Amino acid sequence: MKSIKQVLGGDLRQYTMVFALIALLLAFNVWSGGRMLTSSNFQNLLSGNAYVLILAIGMVMVIVIGQIDLSVGSVAGVVGMSAALSARDLGFTWWMALLFGLLIGAAIGAWQGFWLSKLGIPGFITTLAGMMIFRGAVIWMSDSISVPVPDEFRYFGAGYLPEWGPTFTGMNNSTLLLGILAIAFFAWSELRRRRALSRAGAEVPALWVSATRFALIALVLGYLTWIFGSGRPGTSFPVPGLILVVLIIIYHIITQRTVFGRHIYAVGGNKSAAALSGVNTKRTYFLVMMNMSFLAALAGLLFVGRSTSAGPSDGTMWELDAIAAVFIGGAAVSGGIGTVIGSMVGGLVMAVLNSGLMLMGVGADKTQIIKGLVLLAAVAFDVYNKQQGRPSITGRLFASKQPGSVGGASAPETPVAVSAGLRDQAPTDKKEPEGVGPRS
């Protein structure tokens, strides 16, 4: 057991949802007669849920700052409809319609961020109003009928990496190259982590620990490369999946490796302490809300590309799927806790449940009941462990490792610790928040 902890880099309980995801995949594969772990199902699983996972990336940042966004589904719907109408009625080319949709999403985010950051209206109320406004707008704009989108949109919503192969390798070589690059990147990051620990004078894990960790990750990546690259001719790794992977990398770096990311956790953990440390809390609220609507716009464009048309009901209830993914992934209702990677695991758990239950012929009514029970159980289990004084089971999922930790593992930074550490990084010319007098 000690060796397993060394390889995984910490408390095994923080990997609970990863183990649950693997167990679900294996169980559904047995129950469905081997139809779960197939190339076509994995491709559909990723393409069909990429838009929800993209929403979850933005939603975890919103929830970390202690807010909620109920409008993301309506924003996605109105952006998809706006792009379709601009191409049909205004003569926009496909790329102009795409950029037009993204700009509308950013503008909506700025609008909602203004009400939250400048006027202090809670995000729940602001986005609840936005949900009603933009849901009505998409129905009004469409006249309650579907509008086709340019054919090029389909490549982004349902396309695959270019066909290359399967000469010599027996699989799509574009997917094979992507898998090789992913394995090489992980090997580089593992070596870089060891060097960082060594330079910091911390205890460096034994070589066999790093080698075993690399072998496990390489095995998983190799299997995924094979299953995505060995499907029927004309298929490979989905383009929506590639867009999702790029976004995961970008936002993981933003939230875990930048000053702005630390500001997000500081504001969510203790707004007053963050303000006293020099954090511009209004700016943080504004940018997080604008980013959320931008990602909702991207999700909406991918969805209409997959469905080849924009409809008046697009985006309905998407916000609930995104919120469920974030909370299953370990975010705290009170804010200050949550990770992009954890939210992706939570989203995949929900996606696998949907796919597996569908393969088994379970109706939509029972599927919703099961998903609700899973969400309730995951959060209740996590809250119970916190009340018992134990580490959060899912909240620490894939927490960033800081140099100087023993064996490369450390507890995640608490919101108070993050905010306290901002004094050396944040500007010092910020005004003191209203209502807070000088220290005696």
Over residues 402-414, the pLDDT tens digits come to 333 333 333 344 4
The dihedral region occupied by 310, where left means phi > 0, alpha psi between -120 and 50, and beta the remainder, is beta
pLDDT band, residue 144 (cuts 50/70/90): confident
**pLDDT at residue 391 greater than cutoff 60:** no
For the segment 233-244, the average pLDDT, to the nearest whole number, is 91
How many CB atoms neighbour CB 33 within 10 A? 9
Rg (CA), the chain: 22
Other CB atoms within a 10 A radius of the CB of residue 356 amount to: 23
Burial class (CB in 10 A: 0-12, 13-18, 19+), 331: buried
As a whole number of angstroms, the distance between CA 128 and CA 139 comes to 17
The residue-averaged pLDDT of 102-119 equals 95
pLDDT surpasses 50 at 72: yes
> Rounded to an integer, what distance in angstroms lies between the CA atom of residue 244 and that of residue 228?
15
Query: Domain total for the chain?
Result: 1
For residue 170, is it within any domain? no
Does residue 268 lie in a domain region? yes
pLDDT band at 4 (very low <50, low <70, confident <90, very high): low
Question: What pLDDT does 351 receive?
Answer: 92
Neighbours of 118 (CB within 10 A): 11
pLDDT > 60? residue 185: yes
Residue 426: pLDDT band with limits 50, 70, 90: very low
In a domain, 164, yes or no: no
CATH number for 78: 1.10.3470
pLDDT (mean) for 86-109: 95
Of the candidates 127, 234, 246, which has an alpha carbon nearest to the alpha carbon of residue 178?
246
Task: Give yes or no for residue 271 having a pLDDT over 80.
Answer: yes
What mean pLDDT is predicted for residues 127-150? 93
User: Angle 39-64/72-89 helices, nearest 10 degrees?
Assistant: 120
Residue 411: predicted pLDDT: 37
Written as six digits, the tokens of 310 are 């924009």
pLDDT confidence of residue 207: 85
User: Does residue 318 fall inside a structural domain?
Assistant: yes
Domain-located, residue 321: yes
Give the burial class of 322: count Cβ atoms within 10 A of its Cβ; 0-12 exposed, 13-18 middle, 19 or more buried: buried
Q: Which domain, by its residues, includes 102?
A: 42-159+238-352+372-420
Q: What pLDDT sits at residue 361?
A: 87
pLDDT band at residue 1 under the 50/70/90 scheme: low
Measured over the CA atoms of residue 159, residue 160, residue 161 and residue 165, the dihedral's sign is: negative
Q: What is residue 417's predicted lDDT score, i.e. its pLDDT?
A: 42
Residue 165 counted as domain residue: no
Tell me what pLDDT residue 340 has.
Answer: 93
According to the model, what pLDDT value does residue 11 have?
53
When pLDDT is averaged across residues 219-244 and rounded to a whole number, the result is 91
Q: Does 90 fall in a domain?
A: yes
* Assigned domain for 281 exists: yes
